[in-house]
Amino acid sequence: MSLCRDAVCIFYLVLRALDTVEDDVTIPVDVKSTMLTNFHTYLVDADWKYMGSTEKDRMVLEHFPVVCLVFALFHICINFYLLALAVWHFWTFKGPQN
């Protein structure tokens, strides 16, 4: 497997997960705000998943431990840049829309 391809895939899945949380109108605003603010910590928590979403892309939240596992296989420098880029991209272009 290509390291670059894997990194791009994880980056996409993290953004998809963030967007799914942000778009799900059934998640209470206070819970959603906390999830979005703390999302960067979920990438290093292999047990974190969210089973309460009703969005069409909820599978990425339900199977987030798999994303964490692949993320953990990358070198620490790649992890830092992927995480920083994903968080920056989300907050710059989307931000929480309560």
CB atoms near residue 71 (< 10 Å)? 22
What is the per-residue pLDDT for 75?
66
Which two structure tokens, joined as six digits, stand for 12? 């996409």
Average pLDDT for the chain: 83
Which two structure tokens, joined as six digits, stand for 84? 């920083």
Residue-wise pLDDT for 56-94, tens only, equals: 999 999 999 999 988 887 766 676 766 777 777 777 766
Region 14-34: mean pLDDT is: 92
What is the per-residue pLDDT for 98?
46
What is the per-residue pLDDT for 30?
93
User: Among 39, 1, 43, which residue's Cα sits nearest to residue 21?
Assistant: 39
What is the per-residue pLDDT for 71?
82
